[in-house]
A and B are shown apart, each in its own frame.
Chain A
């Protein structure tokens, strides 16, 4: 297993043998295919984080995230959400699929 990226709370690994990814959420590790990782990226990026601060829409700052076609369910607070966004951004740079120039958290 190769470590692709690491943020404050989470890490992402690639397994060459199984041709898949493992996301270490601290309390739980989730296995994901590439497509599932891509879907997670879109979900995480679609989160409107400003609602955590300036809106009554999400005054508790809680995000409920389902993963891998609803196989897993996570509840994240504001800082965990931001951290996961950073992890995902860095991961796609490591994967060579992103043109973003700078990693948020250096490995």
Chain B
């Protein structure tokens, strides 16, 4: 019997399923950041708004990276549907905290897929995900640094304005 399936596809279907779930997660993160950008825009936190617009774009790039990887491996990447985007935040700090929580969730999910790849000797999948492991560490750090500013500078009107001015937009 010819190994037609293996000629067509170079990752396991289980890895593909997990990566398709990750696509949905990245798409959700992208949409979520857009909602955060909107809130910041409306509340005149201009730099924070730019920051989240950029984050939103980056999450879409993450999504596309995984999308193309699945298809390059001969799998079937599935275009995600996104729902349940939160638009309500009580403060600027609340937004950055939600952003960090979201990143932590994404990190956990990436780590879980790496673990599954390791268990199943899926070297392609594991190798591909290394980039995401590093990326998640950086993203968490960026948000943690911003949250430190609230501890440092306080939470009243002028402090918030100063914090916003310190948010890097590029």
Contacts and interface: CB of A to CB of B under 8 A. Distances in A.
B5 A96 contact: yes
A42 B120 contact: no
B76 A35 contact: yes
Interface residues of B, number: 19
B1 A98 contact: no
A98 B13 contact: yes
Nearest to B121: A99
Given A98-B12, A99-B120, A39 B4 contact: no
B78 A42 contact: yes
A19 interface: yes
A21 B78 CA distance: 22
B14 A98 contact: yes
B76 A96 contact: no
Contacts of A2: 1
B51 to A, nearest CB: 36
Nearest to B11: A97
A9 interface: no
Nearest to A41: B13
Given A97-B9, A99-B14, A100-B14, A38 B75 contact: yes
Q: Sorted from nearest, which 6 A-B pairs have the closest CB atoms? A: A95-B5, A99-B120, A34-B8, A16-B2, A2-B1, A38-B76
17 contacts: A16-B1, A19-B2, A19-B4, A34-B5, A34-B9, A35-B8, A35-B76, A38-B9, A45-B17, A92-B13, A95-B6, A96-B6, A97-B6, A97-B13, A98-B12, A99-B12, A100-B14
